[in-house]
Structure 1
Amino acid sequence: MTSKKKTGARKGKQTEAQAPESATPPKGIPIAAGGSVLRPLKAAEVVAREVVRSITAAGLQPGDGLPSEAQMLQQYGVSRESLREGLRLLEVQGMISIRRGPGGGPVVGTVDSANLGRMEALFFHLAGATYDELFEAWVFAESTLARMAAMNPDAALREQVMAPYLSGDVEDDEHVDLDVYVTGHEGFHGAVSGLAGNRVFQLTFRAYGQILAHHTATVGDVRKLHKKLVEDHLKVAQVIVDGDAEVAATLMQEHLSQVFDLHRGELGPLLEGPVGWL
């Protein structure tokens, strides 16, 4: 009898975690083994790489101007076509922006996980990755970041960064503009990721949340959970300040599960469909 119950439990869990056998898996391009890593760069890509190197070498910051087109043509020794294509590659990624008109030109942009998320969403879409898979990755990523944030050895920094969420002032009002509200909600998760102390995780893991924030805002309204979200943020912030890594990860997982549950019904069959390109 006991053996049958265990088997049934395992079967039920498997059914819940996996798509039914009758379900048609999303179509997509098979994920390659990574052979393109060593492919030669095009001239425009080489230019883009050199511009980025120049930005970091000079210690430039967002809003700082870059050399003129004439100066860069001389500096990089490429054609005008290759230079402009390289700059467009960087502009699409948000790494630079091009000011039009007199006195305009390229200026340094920002390092934003949302821009990385747009590119990732394109790859997810082509691979046939589903929203269900993206939610799973998001919960894992944010829980990991919360654990790492609580492990940050600088206790004073943890308290300083989490202070606005402990007071509740920063999230006190439910903003009428959904875009502004979602941006504010994302601010908490951005603060947590900053405390994690790993810039690779901060950028890549946060990109999952940026993709979901964009797409779920079009089908649901997370403001329905406003009071609960603020309470959750306060609890997570407190355990991060306390340095309790495992509790921070658990609370973050529970927090995101509520957001997932809200959108599960509103996304419906879209959950099993491919992630859309932003």
Structure 2
Amino acid sequence: MSEQIARQTVDYIIGNGLVPGTRLPVEAELGRTLGVGRNTLREALRLLEAWGVIEIRQGRNGGAIVRHPDPSDLRGPLTVQLLFDGATLDDVLEIRLMLEPETAYLAAQKMSEDEVADLEASVTRLRTGGNASHDAFIQENRYFHSAIARHTGNIVLRSVIESIEAVFDGTAQGVSYSSRRRGAVADAHARIAKAIQLGDPDKAREEMRAHLLEAGSYWTRNRSLMEKRLNWPD
């Protein structure tokens, strides 16, 4: 029953056009609207919070606040699934090689000038700030790939790619990047951004595939690393 009510609440939020930051009606009013008791409603709200649909805030101005679910909300469930199934870095590389070149292909067809400028700015940050710390490099690297996924125009593809990016990029398995390697990644990103900027989907696909294969080659220098089971990401 609580899951049923959670689904009805999602329909209520979408049907009424409630934007992120909107406070849902107080429990008594929402319960009357949905025709459900207090305990069942509270269980449903906990489910919605786990799904990333709402945020429960405490205090005078608290309550159930609408939020927009993000692909990173899948991080926990996806991580657990992969851990139980014994997935490896090899598995992650295979799926990225299947999806991300096509993501770049679509992006080259659809990205606006402003969106391409955002990619180019990411490349600049990678070159100028990526060496500040390993963490800064990793975050910027993730941002670049996620930005391409966001601008494909395909919601399903974007969610899948961003979920994978949010979970595993090799760092939890011990992959690290020297200054020289960080420069090579920045160069690869620049080539991908250039192909997208030129509106050349085939070239964008080719450059993304080459980038991932290069990364895979870097990872596979340590075969045991590739075959090691995935770990909890940072």
- TM-score w.r.t. length of structure 1: 0.73
CA contact (8 A) 2:219 2:226 kept: no
1:204 maps to which of 160, 165, 169: 160
1:244 matches 2:191: no
Matched residue SS, 2:65: strand
Q: Residues 16-46 of structure 1, C-alpha deviation per residue, up to 9 Å, x if partnerless?
A: xxxxxxxxxxxxxxxxxxxxxxxxxxx1211
Q: 1:273 Cα shift?
A: 4.2
Q: 1:116 Cα shift?
A: 2.0
Q: Residues 112-147 of structure 1, C-alpha deviation per residue, up to 9 Å, x if partnerless?
A: 211123322322333333331122102221111011
Q: Distance in 2 between matches of 1:80 and 1:45?
A: 14
Query: 1:258 — aligned with what?
Result: 214
Query: 1:192 — aligned with what?
Result: 148
Q: Distance in 1 between matches of 2:8 and 2:155?
A: 22
1:162 matches 2:120: no
Query: 1:233 — aligned with what?
Result: 189
Matched residue SS, 1:151: helix
CA contact (8 A) 1:96 1:106 kept: yes
Matched residue SS, 1:59: coil
CA contact (8 A) 1:138 1:209 kept: no
CA contact (8 A) 2:146 2:165 kept: no
Q: Distance in 2 between matches of 1:139 and 1:244?
A: 19
The count of aligned residue pairs is 230
1:219 maps to which of 174, 178, 194: 174
Q: What does 1:1-278 align with in structure 2 at a 5 Å threshold?
A: 43-152=1-110, 157-166=111-120, 168-171=123-126, 172-174=128-130, 176=132, 178-213=134-169, 216-217=171-172, 219-222=174-177, 224=179, 225-264=181-220, 269=224, 271-276=226-231
CA contact (8 A) 1:222 1:259 kept: no
- TM-score w.r.t. length of structure 2: 0.85
Paired letter, 1:237: A
Instruction: Give structure 2 stretches of 5+ with no counterpart.
Output: none
Q: Distance in 2 between matches of 1:180 and 1:79?
A: 48
**Identity over aligned residues, as a percent?**
29
Change (3 A) 1:250 1:48: same
Q: Distance in 2 between matches of 1:223 and 1:61?
A: 43
Q: Which structure would you say has the larger Rg?
A: 1
Instruction: Please give the root-mean-square deviation of Cα atoms over the aligned residues, in Å.
Output: 2.5
CA contact (8 A) 2:172 2:231 kept: no
Change (3 A) 1:91 1:277: farther
Q: Distance in 2 between matches of 1:166 and 1:70?
A: 50
Instruction: Give structure 1 stretches of 5+ with no counterpart.
Output: 1-42
- More moved, 178-187 vs 230-239: 178-187
Query: 1:31 — aligned with what?
Result: none
Q: 1:198 Cα shift?
A: 0.6
Q: Residues 81-131 of structure 1, C-alpha deviation per residue, up to 9 Å, x if partnerless?
A: 322222222222322211112221111223321112332232233333333
Paired letter, 1:269: S
